[in-house]
Chains A and B, each alone.
Chain A
């Protein structure tokens, strides 16, 4: 494995048609849980293989067994009850969970999937969790008196899961907080809650943040107790990098260099330029090129194509870094 500009993805991939069909059949009681699990494992194997073929460095299990990033955990935690349908945008709806009692984690939620995915590859697979602040913000809170109380209770159960992932061998644990800037005045709660989750972790910790106004929580977000921030950049035309001029960015940066929300494919040159922009602020050993966000809304072919662009762009820039000092470009230390 190369040691600079390691490539990765944010976490989710699209579910193949047969798995969609199987999930529908399962929800109608027409398929057993073990039959569904078998198909989820098959889809996981396929995605691990595709990631290896494309040449990504740090892999994910692709989340074939998750519906969405909050409901999956809410279903497995005690204290949540299933909420009704709420519209997300256009004609898309989701079941918004309700925190209705004291939160407890009866069993590990992702460890078996991590172990399975890691058994299929020699490359590192990331453990993937949803952060406490996002779990809170994307649920209804009926049980805890304040939002902070609920966030800290969620942090405690997510801490247990993160530590189990580490014990199972995860070298990277990603705890996503896409809602972290929902209420910028609550950034302190998000930081306090994340501190509970990561307090005993030796694994590299990462948090993915997307949508919303990142500027509203910068530079405070640098106090989020994780090693790496994972940011959508291409979709925002790299505007967040300007913030780093005033307050230097102090963490590792996973930089989104292809937009996952559009079907069109970026060119390798365009994506490579994104990496070079990042290199102005973060050294190559601390910069991780990847697509902006989870790829679950893209087709298999689109996903492979987007990931291939990321890998090729990283290769190109790595070659430039190895070449004797390019006269026009500053090579970071």
Chain B
């Protein structure tokens, strides 16, 4: 069993000394500092996020997505044929993203995240995952599409571009890539389309973790079991979920259990966390259970995010029988 994180880590904290990136971005907007100075701030914040995950005892970390404005942004900026449209609310969060607009057929060199990945790689000795936006999520969050005729066509074209990014991450050394895909649990009617998209992602040859958060996965556990991915992440906290009652439906996959709520400050107890983990361990065995916050910790104030990580690690250790 391993502990891990998903998605974005808080970029700043309430402490005035934890606001360097916010200030750097302000100055950059006002053209008081150049791109290079902003890069220095991004790197410093990434280094701090990584150090914090390491210190908390997370086994498999990510780079905290410090450069990401939102889940679509990195790709909408880098890919040919795309622009960024108006702001819209990101699912049921009081957080907003720029809706992608597809002007022409999508093109990518597949190296959008390579620089970030390599930079983070050099900052840690821990296993470091990559991450991409899920193709179904990207396709359903798109505001306007002037290139593809149907949602199917659009999703598959995005999947091809995403597969290319996954290949790039693999070549840069990533041995696991999260595919963040809230749309799959938001829109279970689109599971067949998503499966076709994931066949294209899998062709990239890098082990994938499908992270399906914000909604319960109860209705589609059986379908998830047959996706061509190594890991399936499910959210046990955002909404009522009975997924643990039949978690064995996911046998054969490594299940990433979202056991601490990354969208509410209410702190779980380590013993509640341990109890859920133990149920999954009994059904799937320790080789096939990873544990994580439900989604990116950036939905929480920084100090609470840190405490959530601590509870996660404490609960996982208790479940594994490791003395605290």
Contact = CB atoms under 8 A, between A and B. Distances in A.
Interface of A: 83-91, 93, 96, 98, 137-138, 140-142, 179, 182-183, 211-212, 235, 261
A141 B86 contact: no
Contact of A212 (B11, B25, B89, B264): B89
Interface string B273-316: 00000000000000000000000001111111000000000000
B87 A96 contact: no
25 contacts: A83-B265, A83-B301, A84-B13, A84-B302, A84-B303, A85-B13, A86-B95, A86-B300, A86-B301, A87-B10, A87-B12, A89-B69, A89-B70, A89-B87, A89-B96, A89-B97, A89-B98, A91-B22, A91-B25, A93-B22, A96-B94, A137-B94, A140-B264, A142-B266, A235-B86
A141 B89 CA distance: 20
A278 B250 CA distance: 51
A86 B299 contact: yes
B14 interface: yes
B266 A89 contact: no
Ranked 4 nearest A-B pairs via Cβ: A84-B301, A89-B96, A140-B265, A182-B92
Nearest to A261: B86
A139 to B, nearest CB: 9
Nearest to A210: B89
A95 to B, nearest CB: 8
Contacts of A183: 92
A91 B29 contact: yes
A78 B58 CA distance: 37
B272 interface: no
B107 to A, nearest CB: 26
A87 B11 CA distance: 8
A154 to B, nearest CB: 15
A89 B95 contact: yes
B95 A211 contact: no
Contact of A142 (B13, B14, B97, B264): B264
B298 A87 contact: yes
Contacts of A137: 92, 94
B308 to A, nearest CB: 12
B26 interface: yes
Nearest to B267: A142
Contacts of B35: none
B301 to A, nearest CB: 2
Say what secondary structure dominates the interface of chain A: loop
A91 B26 CA distance: 8
Contacts of B88: 211-212
B288 to A, nearest CB: 31
Contacts of B69: 89-90
Nearest to A141: B264
A182 B96 CA distance: 12
Nearest to B25: A91
| Residue from B29, B89, B298, B300 whose CB has the most chain A CB atoms within 10 Å | B89
A96 B265 CA distance: 10
Interface string B76-91: 0000000000111100
A182 B299 CA distance: 15
Interface string B8-39: 00111110000000100110010000000000
B95 A87 contact: yes
Interface string B93-104: 111111000000
Given A83-B301, A85-B301, A87-B11, A142 B265 contact: yes
A96 B86 contact: no
Given A83-B265, A141-B266, A142-B264, A96 B301 contact: yes
Contacts of B265: 83, 98, 140, 142
Contacts of B14: 84-85
A88 B299 CA distance: 9
B92 A138 contact: no
Contacts of A211: 87-89, 96
Nearest to B266: A142
B95 A88 contact: yes
Given A90-B69, A141-B264, 9 more contacts: A83-B265, A84-B302, A86-B300, A87-B95, A88-B94, A179-B94, A182-B93, A211-B96, A212-B89
Nearest to B69: A90
